[in-house]
Copies of this chain bind each other. A is one copy, B any other.
Amino acid sequence: LSDALLIALDAMGGDYAPQEIVRGAIRFVLSDHPDATGVEVALVGDPEAISTCLKAEGFEASSRLSLISATEVIAMDEHPLEAIKKKPDSSIGVCAKLVKEGRAQATLSAGNTGACLVAGVMLIGRLPQISRPPIATYIPRQGGGATLIVDAGANVDCQPSHLADFALLGSLYMQEVAGIARPRVALLSNGEEDAKGDELVKRSRSLLQELGLNFTGNIEGNTLFEDHADVVVCDGFAGNVLLKTAEGMAGLCLSLLEDVPEVQRRVRERVDWAECGGAPLLGIDGVSVIAHGRSNARAIETALQITARAARSGYVEAARTALEGRSA
């Protein structure tokens, strides 16, 4: 069974945990989606709570959907670093350790994003030469397809070398996971012209040009949702502004469609991506995907597919090789 893959799923994280998380896992293992084939899920958390949820769905733990105990839970508003240190048996922490020990090939959580990040860095560990692992998030494009934003919010106050790392990691991810031979990498700026940008962007440009990637120059927010780039690189503060503003504007548009529910549903499916996807943590030595805190069963099912695809792709190995080959 060379294809066998175990995903450690944090059953306790997210606004609708554990019910919706467990239901999402059930949907995933019962589906005939190609990304679900041969994938096992371990529900990590309070065994009693998880069993109750499984029972409510008429389901029993099996090899496809097993149960691993974690006695502590990190709340959404806890301080990430303190929580990971103080709660060694938290569901997020246990998931990360399962990946570190090779008992699971990937982990997924809809819980405290900062704690997932800290667990990834401290418990799974960083890839060589990566000082600040970024979070990557897809945004939808006109005409279909998606663009990866790196960093989506993990690191503020970045240096040019960090943005260069984000570019390399994002490009490798799109190459290995999305199968794009030479992903187009663009730099988020306040104008497309070469001279545009703040100090960070200007100093990062030359570094990005030297990486041997398919670097296409600056990109501005108004063309982000068209087919111009596969990876958009930015500081985590700008990445957060970008993603949250897009979410806010999508909300405004959807609010204007309330009297045409069928149209609203169709638009929502394309623009409400934030709540039904998964954001991989790049630059750590394993696969860790973060889902939206408001994830329902369907969102968890989709995020499990993304997690499985990332784990199968071997992008972590590709990144490790690329980074080890890079002069320090």
Contacts and interface: CB of A to CB of B under 8 A. Distances in A.
A251 B271 CA distance: 11
A82 interface: no
A142 B241 contact: no
Interface stretch (A22-30, A121-129, A215-223): A215-223
A256 interface: yes
Nearest to A141: B252
A222 B198 contact: no
Interface in A229-261: 234-238, 240-253, 255-257, 260
Interface stretch (A61-69, A98-106, A262-270): A262-270
* Chain A interface helix/strand/loop/mixed: helix
A245 to B, nearest CB: 4
Interface string A43-54: 000000000000
Give chain A's interface residue range (CB within 8 Å of chain B).
35 or more
Contacts of A201: 237
A156 interface: yes
A236 B250 CA distance: 23
A32 interface: no
A140 interface: yes
Contacts of A150: none
Contacts of A238: 237-238, 241
Given A142-B255, A225-B248, A255-B142, A190 B242 contact: no
Q: How many copies, total?
A: 2
Nearest to A245: B221
Contact of A252 (B140, B191, B198, B243): B140
Contact of A250 (B141, B197, B240, B253): B253
Nearest to A140: B252
A142 B197 CA distance: 31
B251 A257 contact: no
Interface centre among A141, A188, A235, A252 (most CB of B within 10 A): A252
A224 interface: yes
Given A156-B197, A188-B241, A248 B246 contact: yes
Given A140-B252, A156-B198, 11 more contacts: A141-B252, A156-B197, A156-B199, A157-B198, A197-B237, A221-B241, A221-B242, A222-B247, A222-B251, A252-B270, A253-B267
A249 to B, nearest CB: 4
A153 interface: yes
B242 A271 contact: no
Given A250-B253, A256-B267, A260-B260, A241 B242 contact: yes
